[in-house]
């Protein structure tokens, strides 16, 4: 039994607070076990696992015997890329901070009662433009509105939205300090994944919003956001765990809160992603009583 250094205790206490807020303790032992680990000596190996913030790289995949790499008669693989998103020149003159709210409003007016893609005709009630601080350093991008968002016209207000709020709070921020938007602004029927033509049509407005807000970091929530933000069809396991270049700013990928609600065991992995974002933005988690 090796005593934990103070900084690892702090990390465990932070993880515990995060787990409580996210409503998922049982993914990592029990709440009691975790609380004890934060306060008491624990086996060195367990402490290292629990406090690890470095993200594992994706496991290498063995070559399929029938793949193009091993069989020259097979056609080559198609590149794992979509149309790349535009580069936003963050070095050019920015819109002044006090004018960004108005600039976003101008984009909203340009969208109007949009019928540029099929989602306008599949039961949409409200266009969900985006929400938050026009000068935010951190910008979250999700997939698309769900039923609650479609009803209210605001992104991430349902159960997944509550979990996202908790994730933001665990980072030491409030929702009012970040900006939140989606790949598509209208609800896909039955919450299906947006079709490529829908996503590629609608992201023109998202990219304009990003150009106005000019965040230091974008967090892509889930595979659809990662795909269209990075122009890559690579899996989340490949895209997570590193700070990526995206449109002239930086981006990390994590799981969508709706997925975390379905599989709470992945919340520990999402917390690693958020810690990576916090390191990049020099954020410290909020102090908790007793921590
Ligand atoms: S999803 Fe976007 S492009 Fe499609 S109708 Fe809605 S606002 Fe227009």
How much is the pLDDT for 154? 98
Same domain, 160 and 36: no
Residue 83 lies in a domain: no
Same domain, 204 and 120: yes
> What six digits make up the tokens of 84?
């790349």
Interval 245-274 mean pLDDT: 95
Cβ 186 under 6 angstroms from ligand 1: yes
Same domain, 46 and 186: no
- Say whether pLDDT at 100 is over 80: yes
How much is the pLDDT for 79? 45
Same domain, 197 and 273: yes
Could you tell me the pTM of the whole model?
Answer: 0.73
> What six digits make up the tokens of 254?
């994590």
Residue 73 lies in a domain: no
Nearest protein Cα to ligand 1, atom 3 = 202
**Confidence band, pLDDT 50/70/90 cuts, at residue 276:** very high
Same domain, 24 and 117: no
How much is the pLDDT for 4? 55
How much is the pLDDT for 250? 96
Residues 6+ apart with CB under 8 A from 178: 132, 133, 136, 138, 139, 140, 168
Residue 267 lies in a domain: yes
Give the Å distance between the CA of 118 and the centre of ligand 1: 8
Same domain, 276 and 190: yes
Q: What is the atom index within ligand 1 of the atom nearest the CA of 115?
A: 5
- Mutation test of ligand 1: which of 116, 150, 181, 182 has the most ligand atoms closer than 8 Å to its C-beta? 116
Same domain, 144 and 239: yes
CB 183 within 8 A of CB 197: no
Q: Which of 31, 51, 71 is the last residue of a domain?
A: 51
Residue 79 lies in a domain: no
Residue 166, domain CATH: 3.40.470.10
More confident residue, 94 or 186: 186
Nearest protein Cα to ligand 1, atom 4 = 117
Q: What is the atom index within ligand 1 of the atom nearest the CA of 204?
A: 3
More confident residue, 100 or 19: 100
pLDDT digits (tens, 9 = 90+) for 109-167: 999 999 999 999 999 999 999 999 999 999 999 999 999 999 999 999 999 999 999 99
Count of domains for the chain: 2
Q: Which of 14, 33, 51 is the last residue of a domain?
A: 51
Q: Is 156 exposed, middle or buried (0-12, 13-18, 19+ CB in 10 A)?
A: buried
Same domain, 138 and 233: yes
Cβ 184 under 6 angstroms from ligand 1: yes
Burial code of 72-90, b = ≥16 C-beta within 10 A, e = fewer?
A: eeeeeeeeeeeeebeebee
Give the Å distance between the CA of 199 and the centre of ligand 1: 8
pLDDT digits (tens, 9 = 90+) for 42-64: 333 333 333 332 222 223 333 34
Residue 259 lies in a domain: yes
- Mutation test of ligand 1: which of 107, 115, 119, 128 has the most ligand atoms closer than 8 Å to its C-beta? 119
Domain extent for 24: 6-51
How much is the pLDDT for 88? 72
């Amino acid at each position: 039994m090796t005593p934990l250094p103070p900084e690892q205790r702090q990390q465990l206490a932070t993880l515990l607070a995060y787990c409580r807020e996210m409503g998922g303790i049982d993914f990592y032992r029990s709440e009691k076990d975790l609380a004890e680990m934060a306060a008491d000596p624990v086996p060195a190996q367990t402490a290292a696992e629990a406090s690890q913030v470095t993200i594992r790289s994706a496991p290498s995949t063995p070559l399929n015997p029938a793949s193009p790499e091993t069989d020259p008669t097979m056609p080559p693989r198609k590149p794992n890329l979509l149309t790349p998103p535009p580069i936003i020149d963050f070095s050019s003159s920015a819109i002044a901070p006090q004018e960004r709210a108005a600039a976003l409003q101008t984009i909203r007016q340009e969208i109007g009662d949009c019928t540029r893609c099929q989602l306008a005709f599949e039961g949409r009630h409200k266009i969900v433009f985006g929400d938050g601080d026009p000068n935010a350093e951190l910008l979250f991008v999700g997939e698309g509105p769900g039923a609650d968002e479609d009803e209210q016209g605001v992104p991430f207000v349902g159960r997944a939205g509550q979990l996202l709020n908790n994730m933001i709070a665990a980072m030491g921020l409030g929702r009012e300090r970040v900006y939140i938007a989606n790949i598509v602004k209208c609800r896909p029927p039955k919450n299906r994944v947006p079709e490529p033509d829908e996503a590629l049509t609608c992201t023109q407005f998202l990219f304009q919003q990003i150009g106005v807000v000019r965040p230091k970091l974008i967090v892509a929530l889930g595979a659809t956001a990662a795909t269209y933000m990075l122009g890559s069809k690579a899996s989340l396991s490949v895209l997570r765990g590193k700070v990526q270049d995206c449109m002239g700013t930086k981006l990390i990928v994590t799981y969508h809160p709706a997925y975390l609600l379905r599989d709470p065991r992945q919340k520990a992995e999402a917390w690693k992603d958020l810690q990576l974002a916090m390191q990049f933005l020099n954020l410290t988690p909020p102090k908790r009583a007793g921590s």
